[in-house]
Amino acid sequence: MSAAFAADAVNDHVAATLKAMDANHDGMVSATEHAAYAKARFDAMDANHDGQVTVAEMDAARMAKLKIKTAVALLPSSASLIKPMDSNNDGMVSAEEHAIAAEKDFNTMDANHDGQLGTDEMRIGFDAKVGSVTPAPGMN
């Protein structure tokens, strides 16, 4: 995969994610919109509705979204995504842990502290969180 293709894929992912989060369609993501999107994503992953998301539940949700049959293709791994959120080290993430992590992510990305995320801030935040891993098409 060429660097230009990878950059385009990341830019497309960031733009699609911003659009999905932007409930009032103003081209920006507020803290409230970010939190609502994070909660909806958590609820979608919590297959058994017990208020906890396991690696298996996250794998299943991500695989379904990508229409793939094996978690081996998931980059980054679900376990590596859960680990920094898992404050009690039980191997899964609770709704509260997920909400705290989402709020921290928003505050970190909001570089100009205006309470809104634009495309540039989201791209920088994505790069910082995921690094050079390119999301698979449809992951937002």
Q: What is the pTM of this model?
A: 0.81
Give tens-digit pLDDT for 42-73.
999 999 999 999 999 999 999 898 888 887 77
Residues in the chain: 140
Please give the average per-residue pLDDT across 67-83, as a whole number: 84
Please give the average per-residue pLDDT across 27-50, as a whole number: 97
At 117, phi and psi to the nearest 5?
-110, 130
Q: What domains can be seen in the chain, in order of their start residue?
A: 3-130 (1.10.238.10)
| Bond from prior residue into 137 cis (ω within 30 degrees of 0) | no
Q: Report whether pLDDT(115) > 50.
A: yes
State how far the Cα of 97 lies from the Cα of 89, in Å rounded to an integer: 11
